[in-house]
A = this chain, B = another copy of it.
Amino acid sequence: GFATIDTDREKRTGLPEVIYASGKTAEQVAQIAERMHQKGIDVLATRATPEMYEEVQKLIPGAVYNPLAKTIIYRESKYENDKGYIAVVAAGTSDMPVAEEAVETARFLGNRVESVYDVGVAGIHRLFHKLELIRNARVIIVVAGMEGALSSVIGGLVDKPVLAVPTSVGYGANFEGVSALLGMLTSCASGVSVVNINNGFGAACQASLINKL
């Protein structure tokens, strides 16, 4: 086969192998999903199109698709982390696909998640209405495009680790997410670290490792 499943990975890294569907055919995604399923491994595919879901569903009828997150999930594991929840906070409605990728991934990894959307800094009163929910999380994922200012503001308001996800939302001098990325990296608030542009999945992995501590 074209891809060997690294079943040992979860023990080694605390994170199971998942399918990054981008650039694969619907058939390839479905085959890998089935192979994992047959070995009793839970399935998560990210960046998955509806066509891919159709193919997967033929082989794994119970699989669930989130069209906003573009995730396919089939999960049998009963593991739930009961230490606390991860907050996923997004600035604008256009950032929601990346935020949802984080939400779905974090849940797949056994975490409780609270999501708070549309609280960008251009109307900062909206953020304050949700501050308690954010402050009570154990880890906070902040998803924002354009200037990415939200992670700085939240970083200065909470005493928990903030994981910032820049998105490619915006145009012109946004440079497909570079502006948000740079803003988050040079954040004037401490306690903020950053993952790649649009990488909701990666932020959720990191948040899950932290939430298990």
Check: A161 CB closer than 8 A to any chain B CB: yes
Question: Considering only CB atoms and an 8 Å cut-off, how many residues of chain A contact the other chain?
Answer: 82
How many angstroms from the CA of A165 to the CA of B146 in the assembled complex?
Answer: 17
Copies in the complex: 8
Query: Which chain B residues border A166 with CB–CB below 8 Å?
Result: 172
Q: Mark A139-182, 1 if CB is under 8 A from B, else 0.
A: 10000001111001101111111010010101111111111111
Q: Which of B120, B153, B195 contacts A194 (CB 8 A)?
A: B195
Check A188 against B147 for contact (C-beta < 8 Å): yes
Query: Which chain B residues border A178 with CB–CB below 8 Å?
Result: 173, 182
Query: Which chain B residues border A171 with CB–CB below 8 Å?
Result: 22, 196-198
Query: Which chain B residues border A193 with CB–CB below 8 Å?
Result: 163, 193-195, 202-203, 206
Q: Mark A1-36, 1 if CB is under 8 A from B, else 0.
A: 011101001011111000000110000000000000
Nearest chain B CB to A139's CB is how many angstroms away? Answer: 8
How many angstroms from the CA of A166 to the CA of B23 in the assembled complex?
Answer: 18
Check B121 against A158 for contact (C-beta < 8 Å): no
Going nearest first, the 10 A-B pairs with the smallest beta carbon separation are A14-B159, A172-B197, A149-B149, A147-B183, A122-B156, A193-B193, A179-B182, A122-B189, A190-B205, A173-B185
